[in-house]
Amino acid sequence: MDPTRKRKIRLVVLLSVAVLLATALVYVSFDTGRSQLLPSEALEQRPSDAFELGGTVVVGSVEETGDELRFAIKDPNGPAQIPVEYSGSVPDPFREGREVLVDGTLEGGRFVGEPNTMTTKCPSKFKAAES
């Protein structure tokens, strides 16, 4: 086989492998990926699958009963809010008025969080100055 032809074949094979891998990556990520929704978006779309609910913990809403934590998450810039039931680990910076993200599903009007999925954004006190 002449070398240019050989090189061409090699290129085609390599490119097809790359395309195949890329397709697999795209598929897996959309398959395992979860939408991040604000309460207003979640109430509007009513997703049946699990998703990540994000927003501000409503001040005065946190209630601890046994192993379960109940609170409400609201849009940072809006009135929409959803009550949340959650169990499992609570990150150290969790506080009323802070932004949190929880994985879970919407059941009726309530959001049932999966255990140990809560993450918090860092406390505003330590935010860098708005320069």
Partner 1 sequence: MSSADVGTAALVVGFGVALYAIGAGIYAGRTGRGEWAASARRAIYALLALLALAMALLEAAYVRSDFSFELVAQNSSTDTPAFYKLTAMWSSQAGSLLLWVFLLSLFSSAVLFLTRRRLRDIAPYATAVLGGVAAFFLFLMLFYASPFATLAAPPAEGSGLNPLLRHPAMMFHPPMLYTGYVGFTIPFAFAVGALLKRHTGPEWIRATRRFALVAWTFLGFGILLGALWSYSELGWGGYWAWDPVENASLMPWLTGTAFIHSIMVQEKRGMLRIWNASLIVATFMLALLGTFLVRSGILDSIHAFGESTLGKPFLAFIAFALVASVALVASRREDLRSDARIDALMSREVFFLLNNLVLILICVVIFWGTFFPLISEAITGTEESVGPPFFNKITTPLALALVALAAMGPLLTWRRNSLALLRRAFVFPLGAALVTCLALLAFTDAGEGGLALVMFSLTAFVGAVVAQEFFRGARARRTMTGEAPPVALSRLVGRNRRRYGGYIVHVGIAVLLLGVAGSSSFNDQKDVRLAPGESVTIKDFEVTYREPTVAIDQDASGTGAPLSFGAVLDVRDGDGNTFTMRPSRNYYPSQSAAMGPVGRFFEGEATSEVDLRWGLDRDLWLAIQPNLRQLEGPIRRADDLPEELHGEAIVAVARHYAENPPPAAFRAIVSPLVAWIWIGGAIVMGGALLALWPSPEARRRRVTSLYAARLGRELSRA
CB of 36 to partner 1, least distance (A): 5
Is there binding between residue 37 and partner 1 (CB under 8 A)? yes
Is there binding between residue 89 and partner 1 (CB under 8 A)? yes
CA end-to-end span of the chain, whole Å? 65
Select 81 or 117, whichever has its Cβ closest to partner 1.
117
CA distances from 101 to 1, 2, 12 (A): 59, 59, 44
Chain center to CA of 12: 38
In whole angstroms, what is the distance from residue 113 CA to residue 117 CA? 8
Q: Which residue in 105, 102, 97 sits closest to 119, CA to CA? A: 102
CB of 17 to partner 1, least distance (A): 10
Of 4-12, 70-78, 104-112, 115-123, the segment contacting partner 1 by CB under 8 A is 115-123
**Residues near partner 1, by CB under 8 A:** 21, 25, 28-30, 32-37, 41, 52, 54, 64, 66-67, 88-93, 101, 103, 116, 119-123, 125-131
